[in-house]
Structure 1
Amino acid sequence: MGKTFFEELNSENIIGVAYKNLGLKKKLLSYFTNVGNATIADLCKELNLSVPKITSLLADLIEDELIKDYGKVDSTGGRKPNLYGLVPESAFFIGVDIKQNHINIGLSDLQKNLIKVSEKLPYHLENNKESLEALIILINDFISALTIPREKLLGIGINLSGRINYATGYSYSFFHFSEEPLSKIIESRIGIRVFLENDSRAMAYGEFSVGAVSVEKNVLFLNLDHGIGLGILVNGQLYYGKSGYSGEFGHIPLFTNEIICHCGKKGCLETEASGWALSRMLKERLKEGATSILTRKNINPDNLTMEDIITAANNDDVLAIEMIAKIGDNLGRGIALLINLFNPELVILGGCLAATEDYIKLPIKSAINKYSLSLMNTDTVLKMSTLGERGGILGACLLTRNRLFNIV
């Protein structure tokens, strides 16, 4: 008896005809995920293969329960052809979205549906082995609680901030302790294929696939968190740059100041327009004697978090709103620069700071109008993320699926 699709997918020794057939099966699955259900005639035309070959490939995928025969389809004449399509619950993918103080983990099926989600699991991201070990434990605990067969878990996508080479599996900002790729280190501890991705790019892909994007092909996604990240969609495709490090928007040197950024340089956009900058500015104001809901709650300014400030703003705290507006104006200057460079159809605001909605959006919009060319900004729509915290989970799951099945 031959190997199943799942066994072939995880085999490192598959060669010859079996290797070629695996590639063709991936193409079939890619077509079904992108287009939907199809007849044998549709598939022959799309893949330029004969009817017997398509029939044989479909038979294998049906036996492996990845594809289902959905019966006859209406036809204009002659024999009605059968319609084939994916079995959503035949394969699953895990997405892990790592934040500064928590992680979100989710499970998706073959058709973009989130089956299970565990959000805001306590976790502190630090660049040490203890933090990496805690991450692996959380992922293994999530997998242990699942009721689906382990062999149906085809891959895990993990989002990290900073410089990630998704093609090699190396992270150069966090957990770069070994010559071995981080993806392989985690994979050896979990036993399932692991793919790394930059967090902002994964969040962007979630929005591009099932979120705020509808028909737009040229889109910018801003991840407004402790730092500032950027995901870029050009002509319907994620843009990575030569080494996969595109989108370091937060490190554009826009300001003349003596504040040392996390990257080690001065004057970066992040020093005046990020969640990290927001916390610093508000702490300074409180120490100068400014009043706020936060002071009435007896929160020590030194222990103030970005989440505290966002909660205060959403409870109409004047100082928090004022500081967010200042951050928004600075961000708008940077986004105006992007609009002048890319002339995008759509700019999406996501990340933690997007939870303040109009408090951040309106000053950004005002600054865009002030600093970008009017011919360009009138063609650009500004939207808030529709997926919120789940954007990163979905993006990680979908990118993992795409890489396993060679989906473009």
Structure 2
Amino acid sequence: MGKTFFEELNNESATGVAYKNLNLKKSILGYFANVSDATIADLAKELNISVPKMTAVLNDLIQDGIVQDYGKVESKSGRKPNLFGLLPESAFFIGVDINQRYINVALSDLQKNLVKVAEKISYKLENNKESLETLCQLINTFIKELPIPKDKILGIGINISGRVNYATGYSYSFFNFSEEPLSKIIESKVGIKVFLENDSRAMAFGEFSSGIVKGEKDVLFLNIDYGIGLGILINGQLYYGKSGYSGEFGHIPLFDNEILCHCGKKGCLETEASGWALARMVKQKMQEGSSSILFEEKGEGEEIQMEDVIKAANNDDVLAIELIAEIGGNIGRGIALLINIFNPELVILGGSLAQTGEYIRLPIKSAINKYSLSLVNNDTQLRLSQLGKHAGIIGACLLVRKRLLSLH
């Protein structure tokens, strides 16, 4: 008995006819996923393959439980052909989005549907072995509680902040304790193939693939959270840069200050325009005796976090709104720089601070108009993320799906 498609997929040494067959199967699945269900004749014509060859390959995929025969379709003349398409529950992908104080995890099927989502699972991201061990335990717990067999999960996408080389699986900002890639370390603990990605880039891909992007080819996605990340889409493709580290937007030295950034340098955009900066500014206002519900709700010695300020702003707290507007103005100044360089069709605001909606979008828009060239920014739209808090997990699932099966 020959190997199944999934066994072929995990065979990294495939060559010759086996390699060609695997790529043909990926192309067929890609057509079903990205275009539509189809007849054998349509597929053969589209992929430039003979009808007998297409019939044989489709039969293999049906036997493997990936493709389904939907029966006869209407035809203007002659015999009615059969229509074929994907069986969504034949394969699944897991997306893990790591935040500073929690993780989000999701399971998606072959047709991009989210089957199960677990949000805000308590977790503290720290650069130590204990934090990594806890992360693996949380992923294993999620897998154990799923209503599907583990062997149907083809891969896990994990988003983490900082410098990530997705091609090699190394993270250089977190959990870089071993010569072995972080993706392989986690893979050995969860028993499923793991793909690592920078969190902002994964969120961007989610938005590009299933969110607010409607045909635009040159798009910038801003992940405005404790730090500031950037996902770049150029001519419809994610841009990584030579080493895979593109998008370190938060570390542009835009301000002449003495505030030390988390990267070790001074004057970075993040020092004046991020969740970290927001928490610092609130603390200063508290010391100056400003009035806010933020100070009434927190007990003595309790730190005010970015999430607290977002909640206060959405409850119409004046100080929180003012500080978010100040942050927005600083971010807009940085985005103006990006617009002058990239001249994008669309800039998307995502991440936690985008949850404040117009409170942050309007100051950003005002600063863009002030600091960017009007001739350049005239054709740039500014929109809030459509996927919101699900952007990361959706992006993680879809990137795994794309990398394993070449599906967009």
TM-score range, shorter chain: over 0.9
> What's the counterpart of residue 111 of structure 2?
111
Amino acid at match of 1:79: R
Amino acid at match of 2:40: I
Tell me, in whole angstroms, the C-alpha distance in 2 between the residues paired with 1:351 and 1:286: 25
Q: What do the CA deviations read for 1:17-42 (whole angstroms, capped 9, x no partner)?
A: 33331222112112211112122222
| 1:366 correspondence with 2:371 | no
SS in 2 for 1:389: helix
| 1:78 correspondence with 2:75 | no
> What's the counterpart of residue 179 of structure 1?
179
Amino acid at match of 2:204: A
Mark the runs of 5 or more structure 2 residues left unpaired by the alignment.
none
SS in 2 for 1:259: coil
SS in 2 for 1:273: coil
Larger mean Cα displacement after TM superposition, 23-32 or 253-262: 23-32
Tell me, in whole angstroms, the C-alpha distance in 1 between the residues paired with 2:197 and 2:40: 35
RMSD over aligned Cα, in angstroms? Answer: 1.3
> What's the counterpart of residue 393 of structure 1?
393
> What's the counterpart of residue 205 of structure 2?
205
Tell me, in whole angstroms, the C-alpha distance in 2 between the residues paired with 1:84 and 1:374: 50
Using the TM superposition, give the Cα deviation of residue 72 of structure 1 relative to its aligned residue in structure 2, in angstroms.
Answer: 2.4
Using the TM superposition, give the Cα deviation of residue 341 of structure 1 relative to its aligned residue in structure 2, in angstroms.
Answer: 1.1
Q: How does 1:2-401 map onto structure 2 within 5 Å? A: 2-300=2-300, 303-401=303-401
Using the TM superposition, give the Cα deviation of residue 378 of structure 1 relative to its aligned residue in structure 2, in angstroms.
Answer: 1.9
Using the TM superposition, give the Cα deviation of residue 16 of structure 1 relative to its aligned residue in structure 2, in angstroms.
Answer: 4.0
Q: What do the CA deviations read for 1:201-252 (whole angstroms, capped 9, x no partner)?
A: 1001111111111121111110000000011111111111111111111011
Tell me, in whole angstroms, the C-alpha distance in 2 between the residues paired with 1:125 and 1:261: 18
Task: Assess if the C-alpha contact under 8 Å between 1:6 and 1:151 holds in 2.
Answer: no
Amino acid at match of 1:282: V
Judging changes above 3 Å, is the alpha-carbon distance between structure 1 residues 107 and 378 closer, same or farther for their aligned structure 2 residues? same
Q: What do the CA deviations read for 1:36-60 (whole angstroms, capped 9, x no partner)?
A: 2122222222322111111111000
Using the TM superposition, give the Cα deviation of residue 300 of structure 1 relative to its aligned residue in structure 2, in angstroms.
Answer: 4.0
Normalized against structure 1, the TM-score is what?
0.97
Tell me, in whole angstroms, the C-alpha distance in 2 between the residues paired with 1:329 and 1:12: 49
Task: Assess if the C-alpha contact under 8 Å between 1:202 and 1:396 holds in 2.
Answer: yes
Tell me, in whole angstroms, the C-alpha distance in 2 between the residues paired with 1:38 and 1:234: 31
Task: Assess if the C-alpha contact under 8 Å between 2:36 and 2:85 holds in 1.
Answer: yes
Tell me, in whole angstroms, the C-alpha distance in 2 between the residues paired with 1:298 and 1:240: 42
Tell me, in whole angstroms, the C-alpha distance in 2 between the residues paired with 1:138 and 1:222: 28
Task: Assess if the C-alpha contact under 8 Å between 2:298 and 2:304 holds in 1.
Answer: no
SS in 2 for 1:188: helix
Tell me, in whole angstroms, the C-alpha distance in 2 between the residues paired with 1:154 and 1:298: 45
SS in 2 for 1:116: strand
Tell me, in whole angstroms, the C-alpha distance in 2 between the residues paired with 1:12 and 1:373: 49
Tell me, in whole angstroms, the C-alpha distance in 2 between the residues paired with 1:15 and 1:371: 54
Q: What do the CA deviations read for 1:276-320 (whole angstroms, capped 9, x no partner)?
A: 101111111111111110122244476111111111111111111
Amino acid at match of 1:162: G
Normalized against structure 2, the TM-score is what?
0.97
Larger mean Cα displacement after TM superposition, 31-40 or 116-125: 31-40
Task: Assess if the C-alpha contact under 8 Å between 1:124 and 1:131 holds in 2.
Answer: yes
Larger mean Cα displacement after TM superposition, 367-376 or 329-338: 367-376
Tell me, in whole angstroms, the C-alpha distance in 2 between the residues paired with 1:235 and 1:42: 28
Amino acid at match of 1:257: N
Using the TM superposition, give the Cα deviation of residue 74 of structure 1 relative to its aligned residue in structure 2, in angstroms.
Answer: 2.9
Tell me, in whole angstroms, the C-alpha distance in 2 between the residues paired with 1:300 and 1:334: 36
Q: What do the CA deviations read for 1:161-213 (whole angstroms, capped 9, x no partner)?
A: 01111111111110001111110111011111000000001001111111111
Tell me, in whole angstroms, the C-alpha distance in 1 between the residues paired with 2:243 and 2:172: 12
SS in 1 for 2:272: helix
SS in 1 for 2:369: helix
Tell me, in whole angstroms, the C-alpha distance in 1 between the residues paired with 2:46 and 2:96: 34
Tell me, in whole angstroms, the C-alpha distance in 1 between the residues paired with 2:376 and 2:72: 50
Q: What do the CA deviations read for 1:362-406 (whole angstroms, capped 9, x no partner)?
A: 100111111111122221111111111111001000000110012
Larger mean Cα displacement after TM superposition, 145-154 or 371-380: 371-380
Task: Assess if the C-alpha contact under 8 Å between 1:286 and 1:301 holds in 2.
Answer: no
Amino acid at match of 1:132: L
Task: Assess if the C-alpha contact under 8 Å between 1:251 and 1:268 holds in 2.
Answer: yes
Mark the runs of 5 or more structure 1 residues left unpaired by the alignment.
none
SS in 1 for 2:116: strand
Using the TM superposition, give the Cα deviation of residue 77 of structure 1 relative to its aligned residue in structure 2, in angstroms.
Answer: 2.8
SS in 2 for 1:196: strand
Tell me, in whole angstroms, the C-alpha distance in 1 between the residues paired with 2:92 and 2:297: 45
SS in 2 for 1:296: helix
Larger mean Cα displacement after TM superposition, 71-80 or 279-288: 71-80
Amino acid at match of 1:276: W
Tell me, in whole angstroms, the C-alpha distance in 2 between the residues paired with 1:102 and 1:259: 27
Amino acid at match of 1:64: D
